[in-house]
Structure 1
């Protein structure tokens, strides 16, 4: 667990727990994890989360920075079909407001969306709406109608929010994950 990111650990922890039908899991607590879980709770993918009380902290020092995550099941099937990390520590992926608008409209139609990492392309070209940014390489994420779900973004305006809220706030940001 020391070499990978806390968010990647959380996503694999949730996947493994839901495969084994576990109702409550315990995970290390960070601001990023709390923001990510808040978005999952708002969209109905988990029942909620809770912090350990102060009395438990005194009794169990190892639980001090832990959070309990209450997983959700619908008809004995996990509420989360799949959850994946998009932006990684080694390769950050960002989405612009225009690409977010395309993603939102294509999600309604059941088509694919576009997400861009901030790296230079081979030809060095840059599209006109992205002037001032480094050249971008396009990465397609195929979305079939049954696996639309939500994208979770880290934005400068709203913190960690869903792609639909980022679209309403007219802001882009780093794409942390995709849940469906």
Structure 2
């Protein structure tokens, strides 16, 4: 099966992994997935990830729980392949703050908080809370 939108697949696997109370899920490797994973680790939303030694196209993601409750309650994809959503820095301050937004900018994949500090806008990837 060919997956056209790897990020939607990635977010679905994270949601389903938490719903099934799994501690480890696997995902196909891509640069964008690794960049988002690095942001999630930095923010403390997942434990870690590891690239498979047998098949280097697979990533094992270790989910994080706090007192048997999922750290990520909801993850929503904003920008889609059919409709990209871009935001300017001034508009970032106007967003109703619920959770954490992840953006793809010229500086790489960063959170909305970092984008505000760096005075950057970019493509809104997802919202996590």
TM-score tier, shorter chain, comes to over 0.9
d(CA) in 2 for partners of 1:15, 1:4: 19
Match among 54, 77, 83 for residue 85 of structure 1: 77
1:69 aligned counterpart, secondary structure: strand
Offset at residue 2 of structure 1 (A)? 2.2
Number of the residue aligned with 1:64? 56
Higher strand proportion (structure 1 or 2)? 2
Query: Gapped runs of 5+ residues in structure 1?
Result: 58-62, 108-147
Number of the residue aligned with 1:152? 102
Kindly indicate whether residue 120 of structure 2 is the aligned counterpart of residue 171 of structure 1.
Answer: yes
Number of the residue aligned with 1:126? none
Runs of 4+ in 1 over 3 A off after TM superposition: none
Offset at residue 100 of structure 1 (A)? 1.1
How many residues end up aligned between the 2 structures? 129
Offset at residue 43 of structure 1 (A)? 1.1
Matches within 5 A, 1:126-137: none
Kindly indicate whether residue 12 of structure 2 is the aligned counterpart of residue 12 of structure 1.
Answer: yes
1:15 aligned counterpart, secondary structure: helix
| Aligned-CA RMSD value | 1.2
d(CA) in 2 for partners of 1:3, 1:11: 13
TM-score (norm: length of structure 1): 0.68
Number of the residue aligned with 2:36? 36
TM-score (norm: length of structure 2): 0.94
Query: Gapped runs of 5+ residues in structure 2?
Result: none
